[in-house]
């Protein structure tokens, strides 16, 4: 069992607790404490070390005196585990982690009145259900985007039209089988990708939401993933390992993030990406403040910085994501353009099925398979059981 799956069992128990929107919010911002610790996805908090053109940390440190340290997390389950462990101020959480941390009282309500640039946030995100409970905000929207199908352009004559290239054995345009040359995401939320695929190809299953599956729908998704297991060379959770695999290990197709696609293209690797006909799952990430943050003043200053600086624009270019501040696409604050935002999916918001923690008490049917089952059963799938 991999370490980030072991720790998620505690998070699952915490998720059963009722959220408490009545926790005290900070009422004013004081002097910065001189430090700020962030748990973030790879590529999300850059200070120019990977590429000198992309740096939105240095200016923040110079302005506030808050020195930023970053712990990279590779999965949402790892983020939940780290926040349960403590010692961090902020986390850039996706929707399959944020509600678990709210329920587990690992994050605190955000006083949006203390964030001057809150008014700039995309109206589609301000009250999003993955960070808002009973009208109380538990975070500041950061970035969003789709989980794309990345493929090697030498293995495909044209862009693949379906996710079947990672779910079914087939001979590709280069004359070789896809077996042993595809990857899948190393996290239980990948079950939703299988369910999303089945929504399109097996409508008789009646799946309305890939995160709300009854027992029959759930078992169908697991069966598809067991078949996929025979094709998968690696279950990836480290973006940079996936990049190396596509450079050096002959990988030709996988679910991925625009971040990996962009870095590989910049390095001359023949890859591209597409959202196939079945649509895609996706992520809408939120900056959330730990319930016991040691540096809350620096944290609030950072949350404002994420909305008011070049971060939104440049990170959108760097990661291939969509900014939570629409004006960052065209206001000249950074590198991004409206054309670039549209290419990253700005108009596809309603087509993306954003990550969300599965719960038994679901909306689309009487009862659904809860997340703790997704965790244990996905471990079994990866183990070939």
* Model pLDDT for residues 11-66, shown as the tens digit of each residue: 333 333 344 444 567 788 999 999 999 999 999 999 999 899 999 999 999 999 99
Closest CA to 305 of 57, 121, 18: 57
Rounded to an integer, what distance in angstroms lies between the CA atom of residue 295 and that of residue 313? 26
| 234, pLDDT greater than 70 | yes
What is the pLDDT, as a whole number, of residue 24?
Answer: 62
What is the pLDDT, as a whole number, of residue 13?
Answer: 36
Containing structural domain, residue 114: 3-145+283-354
For 19-34, the pLDDT digits (tens) are: 444 456 778 899 999 9
Closest CA to 299 of 281, 311, 287, 317: 287
- 191-219 core/surface letters (b: 16 or more CB in 10 A; e: else): bbbbbbbbbeeeeebebebbbbbbeebbe
Are 291 and 370 in a shared domain?
Answer: no
Mean per-residue pLDDT of the chain: 92
| 8, pLDDT greater than 60 | no
Are 162 and 91 in a shared domain?
Answer: no
Are 93 and 221 in a shared domain?
Answer: no
Distance of CA 271 to the CA centre of its chain: 21
Are 60 and 194 in a shared domain?
Answer: no
Are 340 and 313 in a shared domain?
Answer: yes
| 385, pLDDT greater than 80 | no
For 136-160, the pLDDT digits (tens) are: 999 999 999 999 999 999 999 999 9
Rounded to an integer, what distance in angstroms lies between the CA atom of residue 130 and that of residue 151? 30
Are 244 and 370 in a shared domain?
Answer: yes
pLDDT confidence bin for 259, thresholds 50/70/90: confident
Are 110 and 161 in a shared domain?
Answer: no
What is the pLDDT, as a whole number, of residue 1?
Answer: 29
CB-based contacts of 303, cutoff 8 Å, min separation 6: 90, 110, 115, 140, 287, 289
| 278, pLDDT greater than 90 | yes
What is the pLDDT, as a whole number, of residue 4?
Answer: 38
| Mean pLDDT, residues 162-183 | 97
Are 273 and 303 in a shared domain?
Answer: no
What sign for the dihedral angle of Cα 208, 211, 215, 220?
positive
Are 290 and 256 in a shared domain?
Answer: no
CATH number at residue 349: 3.40.190.10
332: its two tokens: 């000249």
| Mean pLDDT, residues 109-133 | 95
What is the pLDDT, as a whole number, of residue 343?
Answer: 84
Rounded to an integer, what distance in angstroms lies between the CA atom of residue 182 and that of residue 231? 6
Are 11 and 93 in a shared domain?
Answer: yes
Are 189 and 241 in a shared domain?
Answer: yes
372: its two tokens: 């703790």
Are 247 and 289 in a shared domain?
Answer: no
**Domains in the chain: how many in total?**
2
Beta bridge partners of 183: 234, 254
pTM, 2 dp:
0.84
pLDDT confidence bin for 348, thresholds 50/70/90: confident
| Mean pLDDT, residues 70-92 | 95
For 280-295, the pLDDT digits (tens) are: 999 999 999 999 999 9
Share of the chain above pLDDT 70, in %: 94
What is the pLDDT, as a whole number, of residue 63?
Answer: 97
């Amino acid at each position: 069992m991999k370490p980030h799956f072991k720790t998620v069992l505690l998070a699952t128990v915490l998720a059963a607790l009722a959220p408490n929107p009545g926790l005290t919010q900070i009422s004013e911002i004081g002097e910065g404490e001189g430090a700020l610790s962030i748990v973030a996805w790879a590529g999300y908090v850059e200070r120019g070390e990977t590429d000198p053109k992309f740096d939105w940390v240095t200016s923040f440190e110079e302005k506030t005196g808050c020195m930023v340290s970053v712990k990279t997390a590779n999965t949402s389950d790892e983020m939940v585990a780290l926040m349960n462990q403590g010692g961090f101020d902020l986390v850039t959480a996706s929707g399959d982690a944020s509600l678990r941390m709210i329920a587990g009282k690992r994050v605190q309500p955000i006083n949006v009145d203390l964030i001057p640039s809150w008014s700039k946030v995309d109206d589609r995100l301000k009250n999003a259900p993955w960070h808002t409970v009973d009208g109380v905000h538990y975070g500041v929207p950061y970035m969003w985007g789709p989980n794309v199908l990345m493929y090697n352009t030498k293995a495909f004559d044209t862009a693949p039209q379906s996710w079947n290239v990672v779910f079914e054995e087939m001979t590709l345009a280069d004359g070789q089988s896809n077996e042993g040359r595809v990857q899948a995401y190393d996290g239980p939320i990948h079950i939703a990708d299988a369910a999303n695929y089945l929504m399109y190809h097996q409508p008789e299953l009646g799946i309305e939401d890939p995160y709300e599956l009854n027992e029959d729908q759930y078992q169908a998704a697991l069966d598809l993933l067991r078949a996929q297991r025979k094709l998968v060379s690696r279950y990836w959770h480290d973006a940079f390992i996936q990049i190396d695999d596509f450079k050096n290990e002959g990988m030709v197709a996988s679910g991925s993030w625009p971040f990996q696609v962009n870095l590989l293209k910049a390095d001359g690797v023949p890859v591209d990406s597409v959202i196939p006909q079945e649509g895609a799952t996706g992520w809408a990430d939120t900056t959330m403040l730990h319930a016991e943050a040691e540096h809350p003043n620096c944290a609030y200053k950072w949350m404002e910085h994420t909305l008011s600086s070049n971060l939104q624009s440049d990170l959108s270019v760097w990661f291939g994501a969509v900014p939570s501040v629409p004006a960052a696409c065209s206001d000249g604050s950074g590198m991004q353009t409206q054309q670039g935002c549209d290419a990253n999916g700005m108009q596809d918001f309603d087509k993306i099925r954003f990550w969300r923690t599965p719960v038994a008490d679901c909306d689309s049917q009487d009862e659904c398979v809860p997340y703790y089952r997704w965790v244990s059963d996905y471990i079994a799938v990866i183990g070939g059981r």
